[in-house]
Structure 1
Amino acid sequence: MDVRIYSKCNFTTVGLREILSSMPMLTVRPVNRFTLQQGKKKCIFIIDGSSEGFEEYYESIRTHFYNVASAFLIINNSPLHFPVCIDEKTILVSKATSIDYFYKFLGVVHQHDKRLFCPVRLSKSEYVVFKYWSAGCTAESIAYMIGLNKKSVLNSKSRLLNKYGVQDKNSLLLIAKILFRDSTLEERDVSPHPLVGQLSFR
């Protein structure tokens, strides 16, 4: 199976290549060059979520090579957490993961163990709150828009962190970029939102 690595960090690329070099069932290919034959072959895409252009590359690859993609592994530059499945083919992996664990993890991904590809399930209210948070809405605005009290909205933060097994807001924001990439918020006459792209747990 082919593997393609997208990262603007040379250390990340070299480290991943070193791990992959000891896995004979995986072949590293150039990130932006596909022959006709390679374009029909199953592939694992490893994408550095902290690299400039991450969202554009991820969306382009999903659009053109979704059927041949065995998995999209998004590297999260965050405190250590277990791999978390975002959708049926996308898994978030902490950059702090040990080499030994990542080596074993890639072996499981290569086998496409279905237990690994079970997306985190959110309730309807958690999904809506998460969507508005990721757009930069304050807790007060969210509570007003969806009819919850502010305390319930704030409690959703803890539930989201626990469900995804991550420890920080930046990880939630990265998950939101993946989860809501095709979504747009309805325009509503509500007051002020912080800068788009920032999470406001207030």
Structure 2
Amino acid sequence: MRRNAVANRERILAAAEAVFGEHGAAGSTEDVARRAEVGIATVFRHFPTKAALVEAALIRHFDLLNERASTLADRADSGQAFRDLLRTMVEGGSTKLTLASQMPDGQFPPSVRQSADKLRATVEDLLDRAARSGAIRRDVGADEVYLLVRGLAQAAATTPTTPQTISRAIDVVIAGLSA
């Protein structure tokens, strides 16, 4: 792919995440094109349907989170790395939930499932390291972490909440997970 086509694709995906994260299914491909500063034909050249665009935006969301988690996993302080990842996941969780809600039948297609599974494996690894270091309780698994992240993200997505309140709620969850 040409360099400008790659740049356009990335701008379109970032715009799609923002538009659909803010407006859900009411967001349009025209809104995405405007935000990405490209023509609608450029959007459809990369993504022939709105569903394909949403799917690609969700994959991008998981892949970027996985990159962040992998970077954090390289830190010496695995407890702080896990806490930073948890915060990142909650803060971006409402966008993920909004994108995911647009998947047909509430099911992820295989491409999205693969990205989500890769992220989960990285989260499990980071959680295990944090538990072995004594920073996080050993009886906490990825299922509990994902439920807590989903709960906070869902609450933030559906209830007008200040960033300070979300941050304090994350601190409460982190305190509960700490050894």
TM-score, with structure 1 as normaliser: 0.28
Quick check: which one's helix share is greater? 2
TM-score, with structure 2 as normaliser: 0.31
Give the greater-gyration-radius structure (CA): 1
Quick check: which one's strand share is greater? 1
